[in-house]
Amino acid sequence: MGSFLLRRTLQLILVLWGGATLLFIIFNALPTNPAERFASGNGNRNPNPQVVENLEKKFGIDKPVPEQYVDYMTGLLHGDFGNSYVNSEPVSDIIKQKLPPSLRLAFWAIVVESVIGISAGALSARKRNSVGDWVTTLTAVILSAIPVFVLAYLIKQVTGVYAYQHDWPSWASFPTIGYGPNEYFLGIIPVNGTWKYMVQPVFVLASVGTAILARITRTSMLETMRLDHVRTARAKGLTEKKVMSRHVRRNAMIPVVTVIGIDFGTLVGAAILTETVFNLPGLGSTIVAGAKAFDAPVVMGLTIIVTLVYGLASMAVDISYAYFDPRVKLGDDR
């Protein structure tokens, strides 16, 4: 276990360095000068040359590229991600602002995905070809097919705009944007009305993942149910309930856990549309805004964090394999 963690940690550091270097190269290969971009008000006017020169000095991009690279990497080693070109904010402060909302959103989306997706998939597998199975399958296909921003817009139109215009009771109407009071118990459980602001974004963000998880759970369970040891368990006279809980679910969980882990890593950094439509600025939407403004420090800093979260989630998935399948030996290279 120790050697596994050490090896994966070193791999993760290598990935972070590679990602940061790649982004640095990309930003420096772009023809757009961020100082000109900023001085022009995002391209809305022709920039003043002296202002551009001053901004280049301020941003540190007047130095030779290798020197900029060394400066950036040295900063990273000291936890300094640089300052945003757009608002001069230290990127580390931006990370502190944007990471918690992204983690909360992804966490609750994963909870919804796991509870609904796995339950529906398991039900579907156990009651194969039943009405419930068909409903689950159809719902999963529809949810997978609807783009997130369309689903979000439609939900907001109904529970926000239509509800307001037709005086729906408060329990049936939801705020369309923002965090509301933004208060949480233990940093994760929304309280004092904050939950009402999170319900819709969480369900929208979880929609596609729930559908995929339901399908994977169903398939995985059906495959497991056909295995010899399950047949043996039934032949031994175990009840169907015990067969499912002891021999099917646990074995069927490996692909499911893989999807959940990867999905969490993805949701933290790529919930761009949900964050945008519900105005919950997190890592994803901030990276996109930064890319549009050629704000290299913000894009690179936040991408490193997303990569880190993704890497940690992936590592957690690998560790979980040992629980679900005792044959898996962490640290064993064979």
Q: Nearest-CA neighbor of 99 among 257, 312, 280?
A: 280
Q: Is 301 in the site for other proteins (CB under 8 A)?
A: no
CA distance 34 to 234: 67
Binding mask 89-118 for other proteins (x = CB under 8 A): x-------xx--------------------
- E-state strands within the chain: 183-185, 189-191
User: Could you give the 3-state DSSP secondary structure of residue 287?
Assistant: helix
Neighbours of 292 (CB within 10 A): 12
Q: How far is the CB of 36 from other proteins (least distance, A)?
A: 7
Question: According to CB under 8 A, which one of 28, 65, 74, 164 is a site residue for other proteins?
Answer: 164
Q: Is 119 in the site for other proteins (CB under 8 A)?
A: no
CB closer to other proteins out of 176 and 220: 176
Rounded distance between C-alpha atoms, residue 182 and residue 129, angstroms: 44
Choose the stretch contacting other proteins; rule: CB under 8 A; options: 163-171, 186-194, 231-239, 258-266. Answer: 163-171
CB of 170 to other proteins, least distance (A): 11
Closer residue to other proteins in complex, CB, 68/286:
286
205 binds other proteins, rule: CB under 8 A: no
Site string for other proteins, 45-84 (x = CB under 8 A): xxxx-xx--xx-xx--------------------------
Query: Closest separation between CB of residue 263 and other proteins, Å?
Result: 23
Among residues 203, 213, 93, which one has the least CA distance to residue 158? 203
Number of residues that bind other proteins (CB under 8 A): 54
Task: Name the token pair of 193.
Answer: 């009305």
Residue 213: count other Cβ atoms within 10 Å of its Cβ: 28
Cα(98)–Cα(105) distance, integer angstroms: 11
Could you tell me if 293 and 42 are in contact, meaning their C-beta atoms sit under 8 angstroms apart?
Answer: yes
Interface of this chain with other proteins, residues 14 to 33, rule: CB under 8 A? 31-32
Backbone angles phi, psi at 83, to 5 degrees: -115, 150
3-state secondary structure 121-141: HHHHHHCCCCHHHHHHHHHHH
CB of 267 to other proteins, least distance (A): 18
Applying the rule CB under 8 A, the residues between 122 and 141 that interact with other proteins are none
153 makes contact with other proteins (CB under 8 A): yes
Nearer to other proteins, 159 or 251 (CB): 159
Query: Tokens 């939801």 — which residue?
Result: 174
Sites of contact with other proteins (CB under 8 A): 31-32, 36-48, 50-51, 54-55, 57-58, 86-89, 97-98, 153, 156-157, 160-161, 163-165, 175-179, 182, 275-279, 281, 285-286, 288-290, 292-293
